[in-house]
Structure 1
Amino acid sequence: MRGISWRRADLRAADIRTGLKWKLSAAIAMVGALVAVALSLVVHNAARVSMLDNARDLADERIQIAQRNYELSGRPNFPNVKVDDQDLPEPLRDKVRQGRRATYVTDSAGGGPDIWAAVPVQDGRVLSLHSGFTDRSTDILKDLDQALVIGSIAVVLGGSAIGVLIGGQMSRRLRKAAVAAGQVAKGETDVRVRDAIGGVVRDETDDLARAVDAMADALQQRLEAERRVTADIAHELRTPVTGLLTAAELLPPGRPTELVLDRAKAMRTLVEDVLEVARLDGASERAELQDILLGEFIVRRVAAKDPDVEVRVVHESEVTTDPRRLERVLFNLLANAARHGKPPVEVSVEGRVIRVRDHGPGFPEALLAEGPSRFRTGSADRAGRGHGLGLTIAAGQARVLGARLTFRNVRPAGAPEGVPAEGAVAVLWLPEHAPTNTGSYPMLP
């Protein structure tokens, strides 16, 4: 049972993906094949019945001629006409006994039809004619079947080609819409799905694109409204918190004063962090670029922040970036490692890549899957303190720098997912070129 469950899970994981154009092509090909087969059968049977009717009419005319010859001369004087043939089919014999002239069709041993015609004569005897399907009729029927097969194949192939063309066009439009929607999801608010798919003909894809654009606009307006409210609240709190901190500094020395000062400073830090997040969300921040030696810069900043943190420069490189924002990202990563991880905390610089590692329980799975989220402190084993803004600010400042910030956990080689992590690693990938796409401007050193 365990093996069966594993195989079922494996099959569910192996998500079979098929393009829309191939599905549409297969559907059109199947419908075309069914229609072609049905029409071929109808045409084949109609042609065969028509030929048999013509053959029976011809046999009926011949047996009448043989009847007149027999009545005049006593002999039929016609090829294939016999008198009292013992092989006459019994249904046809019954008709003749009733005094009727009739024709009859049977299947021969060779597979082709046999045509019979019989008529009673005056002396009570029976004249009968036995003939097979003519070779010309058989050839015509074979040629017709061959033409129907070729036509059916042509219909299926043509339908498949049309399906590929139509499905390919729809697939391209949907793929463009998916790419544009992904760009909107990444925060590129100027991207419009309807403009991305293009085209003149209106169809359901246009309705979907307009719905996505409307949803993105509504979501953007809501996010902007929430950002403004957050910024306004933080800005309004700034003045009373500053006054509270000033008043607390005037209190007489003692433990109560220390507690009030500590909480007031924590509140001021929180307000400043919220304001910084609001500015980063508004995409109004600009990087002030300078050329720096990355390894030397990291060594000096980490030594000033925490001398116990080990810094290793694997490969020195000169980068163009904003030192203040880079320092902000670095200090937030170090603070997160010190608060939620375990020592030793290590920093390594290799070219344009900065790694900050601790030896704690690792990042929460939600953070690894979705990235940093404000006011979410993570799982119980790596959380419980803070407001979840440190990594959010680090990720936002990294975007201003045009850099990429990633997170992963360190596990023993070959260990399954259930094994606890041996540490967490945050990696900052600085861009090769200055982040001009963020609207930044170079600043002379």
Structure 2
Amino acid sequence: MNITSRYFYPAEYQKKSLEALEIAMGTAPLYEDWRALDPGLGTALDQRYAALPELTKKAMREHFPQGLVPNHLQVQDGLARNEIEYTFTSGTTEEKVVNLWNQTWWNQSEAASWKLNAHTACLDYPQKYAQLASALNVGIQCEQDLPMENRILGHNLFLNEKISVMQWQPSHLARMARELKIFKPVILEANPSLLARLAWWAWDTGQELYSPAAILFTFEYPSQIHLAAIRRVFSSPLISSYGTTETGFVLMQCEAGLFHQNTDFCRIDFQPLTARHGGPDLGQILVTTFNNPWTSILKFDVGDLIRLHPTGQCACGRNEGLLVEAIEGRMANATFTTQGDLVTTMALDTQLARIPEIRDYHLEQRSRTQYELQLVLTNSRTDSSAEVLDRTRQALESLYGRDGEFTLTVVPDLLPGPAGKYRRTQANFDFDPKGLFA
């Protein structure tokens, strides 16, 4: 049974899926070895896609720069005409990729995604933006404190110029609060981990923060702990926008809280996990892009696990494409119970979010039965910390197994990863991700 048959796909979507497949297989050099695997036009479209392998970052690196470009176009010509530019994705060595950046296509993909939430659908695109993320991900890098006017490009204000939040002082947080009131952005686009730090500072000091028309979360998994902190000080609707540098805007959270596929700009193929590990509704998505003249991406493994909604019906009334209940974290960040069952970042986050004293955390699974959890607490007094640690240990035992060995440590802060983002869960042993899928 095709699990995605519960969803509705319009004829235009099927047409774009066919066009993307034919263009890529017929003109992009990377797919030359794939052509023998394609059963061809006489076969149902979904079966043709199913017959093809996944596109990996490794393959993209090996075939860069011309590998994903239709053979009637030359990268050097596009660079000379300023139609494209090189851009680097952040991350570890195996995650990093150099991409061809097409700003026009990116803007069109983002504008289409705005239609999937009532709070952005009512706005003209683009709008006045403020952005809060590591300078490794967006904006301007500078070790010096730049004045506000030096951090405004077009209609965008970059609230942060530092590569790490470890460089932030209370004066930087006060500056962000002040600049939000002055600039009055319509949209605040933020890494939720960083915005939560501003929210805690505002709550702890009694400062009021300007609330824009909408807050969009990108860059990393939004912890429920951080969302709760942000809701306390902002009255804006909070919206998660999901995508990648390679694929553009793939999923958008609607006003009812579910995620809708951006069917105008991408195809999604779904691969479920085995029932033991959460399938068939939990699995990975493989993304094919539409409408980008410079890059043909087929079945790109974005690396994240998503949970399908059990029906194709959403309270918001939108009914096209995949309907997603939750984005549960990256496969690379999966951990496992003592019996070997997969645990997503979201599963742990849901447990820890029930403990209000926790502000942040990082869990490292050392072996199949050994777990180390670092915690940042609202109050680090020894007497109160002991009680919180006891409740946290009970939560870990209920999730991972009572035979696990759990080491819990209270720390003053947590360092972000090399890409300026936080990795909250990880297993420090080898496992075969592909062996977890049905």
- Shared topology, TM-score over 0.5? no
**Could you say which structure has the higher helix fraction?**
1
Q: TM-score under structure 2 normalisation?
A: 0.20
- Name which one, 1 or 2, has greater alpha-carbon Rg: 1
**Could you say which structure has the higher strand fraction?**
2
Q: TM-score under structure 1 normalisation?
A: 0.20
